Amino acid sequence: MTEGRSRRPGPRIEEVARVAGVSKSTVSRVINGEKYVSERSRQAVHRAIAMLGYSPNHAARTLAGSKANAIALVISEQGSQVLADPFFAGILRGVHAELTGRHVQLLLMMNQPLDGEDQVAYLTGGHVDGALVVSLHGEDPLPRILHETGLPVVSGGRPLAGGAVPFVDADNFNGALGAVRHLISLGREKIATIAGPHDMAVGMDRLSGWRCGLAEHGMPVGLVAHSSDFTPESGAFAMEDLLRRAPDLDAVFVAADILAVGALRVLHARGYRIPHDVAVVGFDDSVLASTATPPLTTVRQDVEQLGRTMTWRLLAELAGEEKLPSSMLLPTSLVRRASA
């Protein structure tokens, strides 16, 4: 704003080159970590950069280069916002943490249901080098579509309609398995579950873990009630269903804390004491778990770590690393509180 055509402040690559006594080509090579630069030049450039406080211009790099220096974080949120919120914030924190220091910008996209093709066009249009897709709804075709265009993609959560899309997810199966084993170790003998919706991978995997845990002790796996979405109301509804079918159940593994809140409400209303009559284990270790009455024993998943790992995986692919694992599961852990 000072002269006619206001230039951005700060030194340019040319000044770094002058101070370091090399050409701007060499400075560029150092910045981009290319080989074929002598140790002497590299040092000189680093000193000059530090001295001048130089920071490369993102727009210029992107314009001149063959990459966008940006990745997209796409949040497909079809309803179920309640679950989405804390989850989403954790993911974002993780992604952000992993990105700091690298010269990569984060582009946020939350898709309204409508703009599916626009979004694909934008993402594959060279504005970003890759995409992180978090679809809560497991059958979302977006990860697969993007993957098929050749855009590097990492999905957060196992995509049901995923094809060969690389993904990172919490180890929902073993988390559920651990929860069930815990219930069994407490001597519970009639263990039900409130599962997630049919169309979400996270629900399916947790259900499998529950089944497996019971099966390995020769216990029956019939007491399943599916929730229609991740709300307390849906959890309450499922709990009522279970109690109708088995009034004498002594434990419930609930696929999400937010469902468990509804289930607890029903159990209280019917006069069941927790954990004396019925032990309850949730999943997620969200705020709700610690604020529930009684505080909920739950399976903790580290959402921030999930965000970090997705980002790491995508950046590694962009850097041309090979032999990357196509999928990764992150450990979960049981958090013991009062409810089981």
Q: Which residues bind its own copies (CB under 8 A)?
A: 5-6, 8-10, 53, 55, 57-60, 62-63, 66, 68, 82, 84-86, 88-90, 92-93, 96, 105-108, 110, 121-122, 125-127, 232, 258, 261-262, 265, 268, 287-288, 290-293
CA-based end-to-end distance of the chain? 64
Residue 46 binding partner per list DNA, its own copies, none, with a CB distance cut-off of 5 to 8 Å that depends on partner kind: none
Min dist. Cβ of residue 83 to its own copies (A) = 10
Min dist. Cβ of residue 68 to its own copies (A) = 8
Work out whether 102 is an interface residue with DNA (CB under 7 A).
no
Q: Is 172 exposed, middle or buried (0-12, 13-18, 19+ CB in 10 A)?
A: buried
Residue 157 binding partner per list DNA, its own copies, none, with a CB distance cut-off of 5 to 8 Å that depends on partner kind: none
Name which of residues 14 to 73 contact DNA (CB under 7 A): 14, 21-26, 28-29, 31-32, 35-41, 54, 56-57, 60-61, 63-67
Min dist. Cβ of residue 319 to DNA (A) = 13
For residues 46 and 32, give the distance between their C-alpha atoms in angstroms, rounded to a whole number.
12
Using alpha carbons only, give the angle 79, 169, 193 rounded to the nearest 5 degrees.
70
| Nearest partner of 99 among 330, 313, 320, judged by Cα | 313
CB nearer to DNA: pick between 16 and 207: 16
| Cα separations in angstroms, 175 against 93, 99, 203, 278, 323 | 23, 28, 12, 20, 27
Residue 149 binding partner per list its own copies, DNA, none, with a CB distance cut-off of 5 to 8 Å that depends on partner kind: none
Min dist. Cβ of residue 105 to its own copies (A) = 7
Residue 84 binding partner per list its own copies, DNA, none, with a CB distance cut-off of 5 to 8 Å that depends on partner kind: its own copies
Residue 38 binding partner per list its own copies, DNA, none, with a CB distance cut-off of 5 to 8 Å that depends on partner kind: DNA
CB nearer to its own copies: pick between 40 and 127: 127
Question: What would you report as the CA-atom Rg of the chain, rounded to the nearest whole angstrom?
Answer: 25
What's the helix, strand, coil split of the chain in %, to 5? Answer: 45, 15, 40
**Contact criterion met (CB below 8 Å) for 193 and 172:** no
| Nearest partner of 133 among 114, 115, 158, judged by Cα | 158
Residue 258 binding partner per list DNA, its own copies, none, with a CB distance cut-off of 5 to 8 Å that depends on partner kind: its own copies
CB nearer to DNA: pick between 66 and 185: 66
Using alpha carbons only, give the angle 163, 175, 160 rounded to the nearest 5 degrees.
15
**Positions in the binding site for DNA (CB under 7 A):** 4-5, 7-8, 12-14, 21-26, 28-29, 31-32, 35-41, 54, 56-57, 60-61, 63-67
